[in-house]
Structure formats: C-alpha cells, structure tokens
Structure 1
Amino acid sequence: MADKLLISAFDVGLGDCIYCRIPKAIASGGEAVDFHMLVDCGSWSGERYLQAAVKALAGMLPQTASGKRRLDLIVVTHRHKDHIAGFDKALFKQFEIGAIWLSAAMNPELKKSKGKGVDGVEASRALALEDYATQAMRGLASLNLSLGEEMAAFISEFAVANDEALDTLTDWIPRQNGIEARYVHAGQSNADLGLPLAGATIRVLAPEKDIDHYYLGAAPDPMLQALSASFTPQAYGAAMAAPVPASELPANISASDFQRLRSNMLSSALALAAASNQMVNNTSVILRIDWGGKRLLFVGDAEWSTAYRDGKANGSWNVMWNRRGELLKEGVDFLKIGHHGSTNATPWRDDPDGPSTEAGDILDAILPRPVAPAQATAVAVVSTERGRYEPIPRCALLEDLGTRLKDTRNYQQASATAGVDLLANSRFRNLEQDWLGKPQPLRTDFERLLGSPGYVELWL
C-alpha cells in the first residue's frame, strides 16, 4: 500500500502516540520520498508502553546515512503527561528529526516575557493561572495525602517529571538535530513554517495567538480571580499541613474552623488546577492535513463548550468553528478522537433528536451521519484505556461516532470470536457490558486484547 497514507495509533494505554506517513510528499536527492511525522508521545499507563511504541515506530522509519531513523516532523499538541511523557532523551537519540512543532502556549520565552511579546502571543493570565495551579498541586503532592487514584493522577499532571520532557522537546531535540523548535498557532501552514511538501498541506487550526482573550475571556473570571488573590503558597502550606495535633492548632481559630479552612484551601487548589488543565487542553495544536483529496483532523485534547461567546472563556472547538469554520464544514475523512474518548473533547449532542446546538452542528459538519451505514466513508481511531477515569471513554459518544464511520468494530462479536473477555479487568464493567455490541471506532486498548501488534493501522 505504498500509494496510501498510513496512520498508526500506538497502544500506549491512556495516552496519544500517533504516526502518520504521507506518500511521496518530500523531495530528497532528486526524488520524491515518503514524509514521516509523529503526533505526541505520552501515556498515563507506564514506561513499558512508551518504550514498546517508540521501538515499533523506529522499525517503520527509513534509516539515514548516520544510521539513525528519519523522522521528518514531530508535533506536540500540548504539555500534558499523556502527550509528552515519552519524549525521553534515551528513547529519541536514535532519531534524526527534521522539524519540531509545539503549541504556541509551550514557548519557554513566554515566561520570560510574562506572557506577552513573543510572536504576538498573549498569555499572561493563562501563565499566571498555570503557575498558581502548579504550586498548588506540587504542594499537595508533597503532603502524600490519600486522595484516591484519579485524584493522584490529576495531581501528577503538574509533576516535575513533565519539566524534563518539556526540556527535551524545547531544548535537547532542537540542539541534537540542528533545528529550531517552532511554536505554532492558528493560521499557519507547513509552507509558513519552512516545511515544503509536495501534494500535501498541513494547516494549523488552533490555538489562536490571543490565548487569554479566546480561552479565558476578555476579563478575568471572577472565581479564578478570587481564588488566585487568596491563594499563596504560605497560606496553602499552613492550611494543608497534616496531621496537626490539637495542641498545635492555631490559637486564634477553632478546630472546626481550621478544618473548614483546610477544606476550602484544598477546594481552591483543585479549582485552580481544573481551570489550568482545561486551559492547557484548549491550547492543543489542531492540524488539518490535506492529501490526495482526503482531509485528516488531529485535535489533541481540545475541548468544547455550549456555544461561542465573544470575549468570554471558550472551548477550542467553538473558537475554531467561529474563526476557521470553513475548514471544518468541508468534512473530514479521518478524525483522531480527542481526549481518549472523553465527552469534553468531541463536540456533540447526546440527544440526536433534540434541538440544534453549536456542538452538534460541528460534529454534523466534520462527520455527517450517512443515510445508511454502508455509505459511510470516514474513519477514526481513539487511543484510550478504560480503567483510570470513569468518563473515559464515554460509551454514548463512541456509539454516536460509530454511526458516522466505516471500519467500525462490534467488540461484543470480536470478543466472542477471539474468546477474550475485554472487560475482565475493568472496574467499570457495568458501564460497558451492555454497550459492546454497538459498532464503534477502533480502540487501541481493545485491539491490544484482541491481538494487535501494538498499534492500530488505518489506510486512506
């Protein structure tokens, strides 16, 4: 299938690591050769998944004169662990990398400029929010409180380990390969970014340069402003230090009030972290790739909201629909399902017979529902793993997507044929056992249990 575009979604547990090969898209030595790109490399599920994925990736790439494997472009959608944890120096020293694109929000120069003046990007309030959230979560992590698996995973999103991956991406990979990291934003294309291609175009649809305006709103959110104003590392440490014997309680506050203060500080810290987490998702790089009359959409973890509101905090999907909607209304032939199948990352309405909504209009535009299943032409993949978060993946969403796609899978039938209980180790069995018989997009976790080679392949 040398004349077809290939997408390989590696099984990294809960995370994204996606390889795309575009046939004969670049010139080398007087001939056209395939273009090789990687979108993200991260996981919540452990290093062994990432090591296996990178090893498989290396085997798919051509060898260079230096003996390394050629990777023409790395795209990093956003800074979360499940998208960057695999960018380890030991793993990536085997690659010769031609270009690296990262979200405009990831530019380390933004911190030096306090969020302003770097290629026109405005992110001062977004950076302040991130700093407060990071301090809060790292302080919370240092207390070693028993907060449950999901909360521990959320807190670790702000861990120091992410700093190491960011350093690899923003400094080490560029230096090792003699290239410049490009911090991309909506409105740019591969040509603008110094990456000429033949027969293919890569467009950046998000994030917008004015991050504060579009994703936080023209004025600070009153709740976040109040939380940030009341939050200091010192007050946080005093309120959260645990345990505190009765004899050491502050003299000017009752035991019940002290515990209430501690609870409020925890709530404030988590509220800041949730807002920062959403902000980072909404600054995901979104790419549309055009090749051979096909349109592919890679969306990172971009979120959606009910409807676009100018000057208010918006989801990235809503901003894109209102500013770049013409590039979505043409529909897509491939969708990388966002945020591992979470309901917050694929705009939709869960009642197909309900009133029209902006979110529903977006999904109907990019993946129109065919009159009959046999008429479906688009494909999609979700890189997911049931077991960590209850809403991921959202069953009803994947069922809806399954009605819009070809190459879907009835996992109940596949399970029976293979003699494999796909839900054997799932603590959310009750959420899926009555739903497995519905056609749905290909899932990396279930395909692994059914004997995949460590990735899901789609050909266009």
Structure 2
Amino acid sequence: MTMPAPTVTVRMYDVGFGDAFLITVKQDDRAWRMLVDCGVHNQGKARPLLDVVGAIITDLTVAAGPDTRPTLDVVVATHHHADHIAGFSYADWEKVHVGEVWVSFVEDDYDDDARMLKNGLVRAARSLITLTGPARKVALRLAHELALNSLGNEDAMDRLLGRHGKQFLNVPKVRYLPDKFALLNDIRTSIPGVTVHVLGPSRDPDQLKRMNPPKSARWLAIQQAADAESSGETPGGQPPAEPLFDEMYSVTPDEVNDYISEPAKTLKPLKLPTLLDDASEILAAASILERSVNNTSIFFVLDVDGTRLVFVGDSQQGAWDHILQNPVARALVSDPAFYKIGHHGSHNATPREYVTNAIGKQGTYAMLPYGKVWKWGDIPNRTLLDAFTATNTHIVRADAPVADARVQVGPDNLWSEITFTAP
C-alpha cells in the first residue's frame, strides 16, 4: 500500500520584531511538531508576548484533542537573543510536554570551546550595559538596548535547559547543536522520509575566534580605564586596540548612522579618558557584539521527502560563509520551497550570493518575522526584498500578511501559515 505524501505547515506568529514559528508535519494520522523560537524585542512588540505564548499553547491543545496533553516533539532556541527566546520565561509552558530541546552548542557548559565563547560574549554585553546604563544620547541608548538583547534571558534559558526549578511539563532531552560528530547532525523524525539537517553554527576554531570578542576589545578596555579612574588609580599606557573581528564584521560610520537619528559626539556623561570617547564607537561595539551572538544561531534544513525548508535564525555573513562554501550544505539550502528570512530582513543577514545564485526561481515562499522598530528604519532592507521579488520569491510579512491559494491568515493577523505537500 502506497503511503500518502506528507504535508508540512509553517505557522508564523506575529510577535513583532522577533521570531515564533510552529512547524507541523503530517502523514495519515501521524503528526510531528517543532517550535522554532518564541521571543520579541522590547522595542518592537506587535502585541503582548504572553498573548502569543497563549495562542501557541491553545493551538497545540486543539491539535492534541480531548483529554490529551499539548505536545511538541522539538523546541528549537536558535540563539540566546531575547527576541528569540524571551517567551519561554512564562510559566504557561509547564502545561506542554516537550520531546527534545535543541540549543546552540555555545550553551553547553561542558564544552570548553563553547564556554570560552559564551563567557566572552556575556562579559562584553555586561560591560557595555554598565557603560551605557545612564546614557541620554540616542547612540548610547541604542547600544544599551543591543547589549541587553545580546545578554539574553536567563529565565527563558533555565526553562529550556531544565535548570533552577524551571521546566516544561517534563524535563526534555537537550541537544547542543551542531554535534561534534557529524553523523548526529542529520536527525530523523518520527515520520519516514522527514529529516532535519543541522548545518550551523560552525565549530571551526578559526571561526570561533572571529566571533569571540578579544580581551582587548575597545569597550572592555575603556571599562577597565573607567574602573581605574573611579578608584584613583592610573590606568597606565594601553596597547593599541587590535581589530575586533575580521573585516567582514567591521561596522562603518555609514552603518552606524543608519541606526541613529543624530550625530554621535563626545561621550561626555561618562567622563572617560580619550581611550574611547566617541559614542558611535560604543554603538559600533554593541552592533558587533549583536552580530557575534547572531552567528551562533542554529542553522538547519527540514527535508520533507525532498521538500526543503531553510531556517537560519539570525545568521549573518560569517555564518553563511560556512554554509555556502560547503558543497553538501550549499546543495541543501539551494532551491528551497521555504526560506525563513534571517534577522528580520536586515542588510547584513541574507547574503546577496544566496538570493541571486542559490535560492532559485521556483516560486520559493519566504517568511519575514518583522515588527516596526523606529530606530532601525532600514530594516527590512528594501534592496533585499526587491532582490527576492526578482527571483520570483513570494514574501509573507508577519506585520502585513496577504492570503492567497497557499497562505492562510489568522484573526487579527495573529498568525500566517503556508502548507506544502511533499512531491
């Protein structure tokens, strides 16, 4: 007897500037469900995040049927930015049974490389928060917000990892991905022919170094100088600050100006020495930190009997290079049926090469999780969206979804969803 073709539905919830995707694969009376992220940036909420959490749990409860607990086979937290995980802080999740939780390997406290990288990111974020806390300047306030987002949400991570008394209905198995053993990164689901290929983030030591803010990072050096000044000590001669990252991670003055509405001038409120006295450089540091955390995103392809769906978290250029330079990984992300537009459509997330040379012209559906943040007027990037349109890609925006033969839209635009039938 021939089995019917499986279907896969992607439901994008409109949280605002954040991600929440519920994926359902069905075949006959069997179903497999994955939730990818649940969070929102505090400057870009479309509605209360708890309302979205409630809607997701209600949808799972209805799908489970009477007298059956709501269940997710997998929860993926692509990376620890608050706009991707903050929703998991709510106790409502204690009603939901979860089979497995997948997090980036940088969250594994027993992995030496991961611990070094994460500690560097956290230390940098906390230093930036200290520097910018009382700031009035637009650039510094934005730097403070970026740093807070980069620090993540400990309550959410506690639930995801089953720590400190926080959990789902159960304490699920946790996978730190990608696994060091390559074969374990092709993960079969409970439905035949349905596999998840975890492609990133990279575990390459050289790429890890490029993502880890060095100790001589300028915002750390200035914090040390400020501490010395407040204690009456002389900071002494500081060696020239080395570049924070490879050139691909550099932030130009023009990029900084995209984020602020007034020129950044001398950093007078902090009364710091001339080691670093430009607010734009503090903002640039925060932007680089944000990119570093983005590049720890879990990057995966869901393959449903040949129908491929690409989820990239907030992966940016460095992480994409790791994918596109690998022939096997590049083939998996090429000509997809579905693409989750990375980092809310920012100019530095989806590479031009991917749009023009890999995504194909087969009528890919791309979902854009987005809510307006006035400070970031260039997100989503119009040139990027136009490039998608030129490749015959159908863009579904969370903030303004349009129903068609394949796309359905929920009440009050709470969600929009696409269903594919595997060939």
TM-score band, normalised by shorter chain: 0.7 to 0.9
Q: Please list the CA deviations of residues 396-448 of structure 1 after superposition, one character each: whole Å capped at 9, or x if unmatched.
A: 11111122235x3xxxxxxxxxxxxxxxxxxxxxxxxxxxxxxxx11111239
Cross-structure match for 1:414: none
Which of 265, 271, 283 matches 2:296?
Answer: 283
Give, as a single letter, the amino acid of the residue that structure 2 aligns with 1:54: V
Q: How far apart, in 1, do the equivalents of 2:220 and 2:306 lie? A: 54
Q: Please identify, of 7-16 and 316-325, the stretch whose mean Cα deviation from structure 2 is larger.
A: 316-325
TM-score (norm 1): 0.69
**Is residue 377 from structure 1 mapped to residue 371 from structure 2 by the alignment?**
no
Q: How far apart, in 2, do the equivalents of 1:193 and 1:291 lie? A: 12
Please tell me whether the aligned partners of residues 131 and 223 of structure 2 are also in contact (alpha carbons under 8 angstroms): no
Q: How far apart, in 2, do the equivalents of 1:178 and 1:457 lie? A: 29
Q: 1:229 to 1:330 in 2, by over 3 A?
A: closer
**Is residue 297 from structure 1 mapped to residue 334 from structure 2 by the alignment?**
no
Please tell me whether the aligned partners of residues 444 and 456 of structure 1 are also in contact (alpha carbons under 8 angstroms): yes
Larger RCO of the pair (alpha carbons < 8 Å, separation 6+): 2
Identity %: 25
Please tell me whether the aligned partners of residues 133 and 144 of structure 2 are also in contact (alpha carbons under 8 angstroms): no
Q: Displacement, 1:146?
A: 4.3
Q: How far apart, in 2, do the equivalents of 1:338 and 1:301 lie? A: 5
Give, as a single letter, the amino acid of the residue that structure 2 aligns with 1:301: D
Q: Displacement, 1:162?
A: 1.4
Q: Displacement, 1:457?
A: 0.9
Q: Please identify, of 294-303 and 197-206, the stretch whose mean Cα deviation from structure 2 is larger.
A: 197-206
Secondary structure of 2:55's counterpart equals helix
Q: Displacement, 1:317?
A: 0.5
Cross-structure match for 1:57: 56
- Once the two structures are superposed, the pairs formed by residues 241-280 of structure 1 within 5 Å of their partners are 260-261=273-274, 263-264=276-277, 270-280=283-293
Cross-structure match for 1:33: 30
TM-score (norm 2): 0.75
Cross-structure match for 1:433: none
Q: Count residues in correspondence.
A: 368
Q: 1:282 to 1:318 in 2, by over 3 A?
A: same
Q: Displacement, 1:295?
A: 0.6
Q: How far apart, in 2, do the equivalents of 1:191 and 1:275 lie? A: 28
**Is residue 393 from structure 1 mapped to residue 380 from structure 2 by the alignment?**
yes
Q: Which runs of 5+ in 2 are unaligned?
A: 237-266, 403-408
Q: How far apart, in 2, do the equivalents of 1:290 and 1:7 lie? A: 13
Q: How far apart, in 1, do the equivalents of 2:210 and 2:5 lie? A: 47
Q: 1:279 to 1:87 in 2, by over 3 A?
A: same
Secondary structure of 2:92's counterpart equals helix
**Is residue 457 from structure 1 mapped to residue 417 from structure 2 by the alignment?**
yes
Please tell me whether the aligned partners of residues 19 and 84 of structure 2 are also in contact (alpha carbons under 8 angstroms): yes
Cross-structure match for 2:396: 442
Q: How far apart, in 1, do the equivalents of 2:418 and 2:229 lie? A: 52
Give, as a single letter, the amino acid of the residue that structure 2 aligns with 1:295: R
Which of 355, 359, 363 matches 1:367?
Answer: 359
Higher share of residues assigned strand: 2
Q: Which runs of 5+ in 1 are unaligned?
A: 25-30, 111-115, 117-121, 242-247, 305-314, 349-359, 371-375, 409-440
Please tell me whether the aligned partners of residues 342 and 393 of structure 1 are also in contact (alpha carbons under 8 angstroms): yes
Cross-structure match for 1:90: 91
- Once the two structures are superposed, the pairs formed by residues 102-141 of structure 1 within 5 Å of their partners are 102-110=103-111, 116=112, 122-123=113-114, 126-141=117-132
The structure number with the bigger radius of gyration is 1
Please tell me whether the aligned partners of residues 215 and 279 of structure 1 are also in contact (alpha carbons under 8 angstroms): no
Q: How far apart, in 2, do the equivalents of 1:11 and 1:329 lie? A: 25
Secondary structure of 1:226's counterpart equals coil
Please tell me whether the aligned partners of residues 196 and 300 of structure 2 are also in contact (alpha carbons under 8 angstroms): yes
Q: How far apart, in 2, do the equivalents of 1:2 and 1:455 lie? A: 25
